[in-house]
Structure 1
Amino acid sequence: MTPPTTLRLTPRPSAAPPDPRAVADGHPGRPGTARSRPGNLAADLADLAERHGWTRRPAFHQEHRVWTHGEVHDLAARAATVLADRGVAPGDRVLLALPDSIAWVTTFLALARLGATAVLVNPELPRSDHAFMAEDAGVTLGVTGPGLEDRIPPERRLFSDQLLALACTAEPAAARPAGSGTPLYIQYTSGTTGRPKGVVHRHGDPEAYYEFIGRRLLRIGPDDVTLSVSKLFFAYGFGNAFVFPLFSGSSAVLVDRRPSPAAVDELVARHRVTLLYSVPSAYAALVADRADGHAACFASVRAAVSAGEGMPAGLGERVSELLGAPVLEQIGSTEVGHAFCANGLSHNTPGTVGRPVPGYEVQLRDGAGAPVPDGEEGELWVKGPTVTSAYLNLPEDSARTRAGGWLATRDRARREPDGTYRHLGRTDDMEMVGGITVSPLEIEAVLRTHPAVREVAVSAVTDDEGATRLRAFVVPAAPAEDAEALAAEITALARKRLAPFKVPRTVRVVESLPRTPTGKLRRHLVRGGSW
């Protein structure tokens, strides 16, 4: 079904009961972090900063402005009053379509303080995607910035600069009671059909991300400075640049768009970044065309984390040599909220995604659901405290993916004798590009609308630098007299209809596509370009 192109927002009914699809069983608080009992995340983080004396320490760096932990929590409490005045109440869902910024951070914390649920979306998505997500989640308000005025009706829209301006003179709002199982935020992930699926996470989940990964595996402390290439509206970036700094008293550098390699150099040097988070394609760009050896601008970096897609052979070693620091690979998912299998500072096996994160169980199963022995390939299943209980509004998909508390990740892997896992790709047709899951079916459907296209297949290919790029293989409806002109038209169509990260970097005109005798596309041959 084609998503709607006009955003329809759902007025909040009075005294509405909690949505049972969004409420999951809570889990107990964990020692050594924000609380020993369930509570409101925003209030607990503010209390944590106060108790540990972090209120005057840097929390976020944006351009040339530094925001302390105390300033962030105070502004968020005041922003909560502004949102409440606009009608936001406990249980409401609010679309948050902003780039990484102090506005994103304070809006999220303000919604948490009110007991509302933030619907986190990439601001660069097409209008139809925003419309679908807003309607699917039943949002009552949208907070956004310039360039997205047409996405949200004026009566249900609040610009982030307006929110922050009003917050400066507002009174702080008291935090609403919230247990660890109360819905906190929704992120959307794509399925094999390309339809986004809403994943609900709870007030208690971020504490687990920090406790199990940030504190135990990465040993993050108040003196760390984070730079995450992955953005806050993705699960990976949310943990890196929002959760970990606020739970540890450290700070993060916020960049409103994906930084170029030159920008990464400058930001790391200027802010003395100690923890760098990125994806393999971005790391490949970072090491491209550089002289061998350690670069002086990375002298402060003590560790780099890689996720989102497999690290090509040899790339991790080149990155580690450049940074003068270990590269720690991990794997996670939107459904889990962050990593569930990871390397850490005390155990790092390059070429693998490490061992199961403390607090999580991992199994490898065959197609029938039976466990597979070490050394054999299987599908990764994971069980743990932050695994979502269900997809929003999709009971059949939820039942198919969840079984007895276990989540089928659709990732293929092999368990090595030392207990580490080697990632072998996906079991479905999804592609990973720059750390983002992309459905080739969605892209192919758009490209197929060009009148000169008969067949098309889209795949992620690895270039000479180790970066993963999308490539479209097109069979023309008639012999192409000018293949370059056709490729240019197809690229222009993709740029008009798709989000930037879904636009193929290259288009190759071919005579045919590899298919089985029954007519099914052999995607593994498309990926290798070997037919």
Structure 2
Amino acid sequence: MNTQIPDTLDLDVGRNAIAAIPRLYNFADDVLARNLVAGRGGKTAYIDQRGAWSYGQLAERVARFGNLLRNLGIQREQRILICLTDTIDSPTCFLGAVKAGVVVVPVNTLLSEVEYRVILEDSRARLLIVSEELYPRFANLIDASPDLEHVLVSGTHGFGRTLFEDALQAAATTEHTAPTVKDEICFWLYTSGSTGTPKAAVHVHATLGLTASCYGAHVLCLTEEDVVYSASKLFFAYGLGNSMIHPLSVGATTVLASERPTPNSVAELMRRHGVTVFFAVPTFYTAFLAADPVQREALKLRRCWSAGEALPVNIGRSWSERFGMDILDGLGSTEVISTFLCNRPGAIRYGTSGKPVPGFEVRLVDEAGAVVAPGEMGELQVRAPTAAIMYWNDRERSRSTFLGEWLRSGDKYIEDKDGYYSYCGRRDDMMKVGGIYVSPFEVEGALLTHPDVLEAAVAAWPDEDGLIRPKAFVILKPSGKPNEAMALALRDHCRKQLAAFKYPRWIEFRTELPKTATGKIQRFKLRAEGADRADEAATE
């Protein structure tokens, strides 16, 4: 019987990776030196809208940025905030801060002024580096932030502030690496907020090297010949791995695009640069298939990866039929950085998140914390060498999430007899209908098999008696008409695939669904609408 623990070989990967990282460790110094020693100084590390940047140029920019930080009086362990679109400036700042021992905090570029105010206050950052197109959202916050002392603007219009490139080029190229310890704080990532208010997961220096050693080396298997593009941006945990940790660790080339990805822009980018490895979220794969912007023969892709939210079966199969390759779906999180459950080439099973990544252990537990048997639903917990150490300034949520060596993912899963894990939904998204748990993801999957459905979200909704039933929120393709006949057809479609208590009692057609910047559906916002309806009914 599978006890939800990887085999000895997989566990040895994690132990060996941990043992290989010395007490004095700095990922930025490690990865840059590794490429220069290998003779890749002239090889292209990044391509952005300004052109190609070699590994040698990247190393020089990182050195300059470290000296720039010292020139500004930013000391080790102090925080800097970077709100940057995907250009060479982002890895320059991230790696430069890491090399200097300064704590770097990349933030979502799609947040509101109110959210940025909270993050500035929470992080107490002394330096802000912001892209020119994002500066207006910070303009009213800068003078009101008591800890913020310096602002640099990335781009050509500085709004009266110092331009990042001018300050960088004025700094010396002298090499300096802070004597960082592998377990000291290195960077923060704020969660995407799919279940509420964002919070900062605090990571240590060893996390980056361990992510590369476990997931990168044993699952991704990139080579220096690969050209990588990620539709998910660098400020996400997923994008940080895709566009920095993993390609730099092997000397690959990464394409960066500052604009928001669309099917047409991504297709053109992949054609122009000969992208061989593509990363995206299920929402983007869905949009790409619907737009159908490129012929299979025009691409040089050899691998496609997905994370961020579970990949619907029909999307994976449609992609495979259209492009002749599978989408390898997996699960990671801001708190773990690395993908820790994943399908592998040659061993894919659509409808699952695959098996544990070498070096990671997972288990499923019930509400009392006891491990459940295979085939039973439980909350997923992971023992990860790359786990964050806490949430900043949030002891209560830290204590409920980081349980010693185990981390609560908040996801509900089922393990099948072959050791594959199938996603059922977020812990807070699950609903009990007639005393039986219903997974919104299962109902959404049934809806997505209808030829007229583009996207779907399912949430708990009270009926006229106050009892909980599934309600579906649906975005139709142009071929579908949002009327009562279509709603009836979708309910009948689900009845044929699901148990009677699972099919959605109501269908509401929408033009958009609430999502995070990573593309995750914010079902808690839909649930909140249902809760408000129940409250109104109770007061009538």
Does TM, scored on the shorter chain, surpass 0.5? yes
Task: Kindly indicate whether the alpha-carbon contact (under 8 Å) linking 2:263 and 2:291 is maintained by their aligned counterparts in 1.
Answer: no
Task: Report the alpha carbon displacement of residue 516 of structure 1 after superposing the two structures with TM.
Answer: 11
- Which residue of the other structure, out of 254, 277, 294, is the alignment partner of 1:275? 277
Q: Match for residue 252 of structure 2?
A: 250
Instruction: Determine whether 1:156 maps to 2:143.
Output: no
- Cα distance in 1 for partners of 2:533, 2:258 equals 48
Q: Does 1:382 align with 2:369?
A: no
The corresponding residue for 1:409 is: 409
**8 Å contact kept, 1:266–1:297:** no
- Percent identical residues: 32
Partner in structure 1 of residue 266 of structure 2: 264
User: Partner residue of 2:365?
Assistant: 365
* C-alpha contact (below 8 Å) 2:414/2:421 kept by paired residues: yes
Following the alignment from structure 1 to structure 2, what is the Cα–Cα distance between the partners of residues 265 and 517? 43
Please state if 1:200 is matched with 2:186: no
- What residue is the counterpart of 2:41 in the other structure? 55
Mapped pair 1:392 → 2:392:
yes
2:110 match: 124
Change (3 A) 1:87 1:219: same
Is 1:183 aligned to residue 185 of structure 2? yes
1:43 maps to what in 2?
29
Give, as a single letter, the amino acid of the residue that structure 2 aligns with 1:248.
V
Q: What is the deviation of 1:190?
A: 5.3
Cα 1:193–1:236 change in 2 (3 A) is closer
Q: Is the Cα–Cα contact under 8 Å of residues 38 and 204 in structure 1 kept in the other structure?
A: no
Alignment correspondent of 2:421 = 421
Aligned-residue RMSD, C-alpha: 3.7
3-state DSSP class of the match of 1:227?
strand
Say if 1:357 and 1:460 are closer, same or farther in 2 by CA, change over 3 A.
farther
Q: Structure 1 residues 417 and 193 mapped into 2: Cα distance closer, same or farther (>3 Å)?
A: closer
Residue identity matched to 1:158: L
Who is 2:168 aligned against? Answer: 167
1:29: how far off? 7.9
2:285, 2:194 → 1: CA distance?
27
Q: Which residue of 2 aligns with 1:84?
A: 70
Distance in 1 (CA, whole Å) between partners of 2:409 and 2:237 is: 15
Give, as a single letter, the amino acid of the residue that structure 2 aligns with 1:126. S
Contact 1:353 1:421 in 2 (8 A): yes
C-alpha distance in 2, partners of 1:233/1:306? 17
1:330 equivalent in structure 2:
330
C-alpha distance in structure 2 between counterparts of 1:389 and 1:185, whole Å:
11
Q: 1:314 to 1:191 in 2, by over 3 A?
A: closer
Aligned residue number for residue 343 of structure 1: 343
Cα distance between partner residues in 2 of 1:294 and 1:349? 25
Residue 309 of structure 1 deviates from its aligned partner by 1.1
What letter corresponds to residue 207 of structure 1 in structure 2?
G
Q: Which amino acid aligns with 2:17?
A: R
Q: Give per-residue Cα distances to partners, 1:393-437, cap 9 Å, x unaligned.
A: 11111111122311111101100111110111111149999xxxx
Q: Cα deviation per residue 1:343-391 (whole Å; 9 max; x = unaligned)?
A: 1225322221111111111000111111111111111000111111211
In 2 relative to 1, CA 347–31 (structure 1 residues): closer, same or farther, beyond 3 Å? farther
Give, as a single letter, the amino acid of the residue that structure 1 aligns with 2:151: R
Q: Structure 1: how far apart are the matches of 2:357 and 2:418?
A: 15
CA distance in 1, matches of 2:226, 2:530: 50
Structure 1: gaps spanning 5 or more residues: 1-26, 434-439, 442-458, 467-486, 522-531
Residue identity matched to 1:394: D
Distance of 1:359 and 1:250 partners within structure 2: 23
Which 5+ residue runs of structure 2 have no aligned equivalent? Answer: 1-13, 156-162, 431-439, 445-457, 460-470, 479-508
- Name the stretch that deviates more: 342-351 or 241-250: 342-351
C-alpha displacement at 1:225, in angstroms? Answer: 0.9
Q: Indicate conservation of the 8 Å contact 2:194/2:521, yes or no.
A: no
Tell me whether 140-149 or 223-232 shows the greater mean CA deviation.
140-149
Partners of 1:349 and 1:231 lie apart in 2 by: 27
Contact 1:301–1:324 (8 Å) recurs in 2: no
Match of 2:55 in 1: 69
**Aligned position for 1:444:** none
Task: Describe the SS at the equivalent of 1:196.
Answer: coil
CA distance in 1 between counterparts of 2:278 and 2:348 reads 16
Deviation for aligned residue 1:81 = 1.1
Deviation at 1:158, TM superposition (A): 1.6
Alpha carbons of 1:70 and 1:520: their partners in 2 closer, same or farther (altered >3 Å)? farther
Mapped partners of 2:19, 2:369: distance in 1: 37
1:104 aligns with 2:84: no
Aligned equivalents of 1:46 and 1:269: distance in 2?
28
Cα distance in 2 for partners of 1:335, 1:423 equals 18
CA distance in 1, matches of 2:519, 2:221: 32
SS in 2 for 1:76: helix
Q: 1:79 to 1:122 in 2, by over 3 A?
A: same
Q: Output the CA distance in 1 between the equivalents of 2:207 and 2:16.
A: 10
2:68 is matched by which residue type in structure 1? V
Secondary structure at the aligned position of 1:396 is classed as helix
Q: Deviations over 1:229-275 (max 9, x none)?
A: 11111110000011111111001110112211011111111111111
User: CA 1:116–1:326 in structure 2 vs 1: closer, same or farther (change >3 Å)?
Assistant: same
Shift of 1:138: 1.8
Structure 2: distance between partners of 1:213 and 1:171: 36
Contact 1:97-1:145 at 8 Å conserved across structures: yes
> Aligned pair 1:30/2:48, yes or no?
no
TM-score, normalised with respect to structure 1 = 0.75
When the two structures are aligned, how many residues end up with a matched partner?
441
Counterpart Cα distance in 1 of 2:282 and 2:255: 20
Moved more, 345-354 or 381-390: 345-354
